[in-house]
Amino acid sequence: MRRLAAALVCLGAFLAAAAFAAPPDPAAELAARDRAFDQASRERGVAAWVEFFADDAVVFPGRGPFVRGKEAIRAAWAKAGFDPAGLSWFVDGAEVSAAGDFGVTYGHWRAERKGPDGKPAVATGKYLTTWRKGADGVWRVIADIGAPDAP
């Protein structure tokens, strides 16, 4: 009988602790997803970059019209010679809708590439990425835009 009582007390304490545990923070989850996006892109290039996009995503390149659709984005980046290996970004903030299915991340980026003279060139800027959480629970980019800092 004592063992049963002790087991019930332990179970009650566990359930009480679980009830008062802080719920997961959706904004922190989204910020972590953005950091994973950065890491994968630097490690595996455009293929990884596009994996994080929804099929109907839109990107806003610095010049020219926006590009809609995952495959069109892949083709546009390939044509432009885009290599995210020299690009890194840093999440400064994340916000998630009350419904938990849309969110944004924003922050700053740094790109290191060879300049026209063959010497290393560094550019910096800000970005805003809009995300949608799919039925599978995975956050995917639906719109992405970046702007360079003033020289």
- pLDDT band with cut points at 50, 70 and 90 for residue 78: confident
- Decide if 112 contacts 75 (C-beta within 8 A): no
What's the whole-model pTM score?
0.80
pLDDT at 31: 98
Distance CA 100, CA 13 (A): 30
Residue carrying structure tokens 């996009």: 53
Instruction: Please state, in angstroms and rounded to a whole number, the distance separating the CA atoms of residues 143 and 114.
Output: 27
Give all domains of the chain, ordered by start, each with its CATH number. 25-148 (3.10.450.50)
The kind and range of the H/E element at 35 are helix 26-51
Lowest mean pLDDT among 42-51, 74-83, 117-126: 74-83
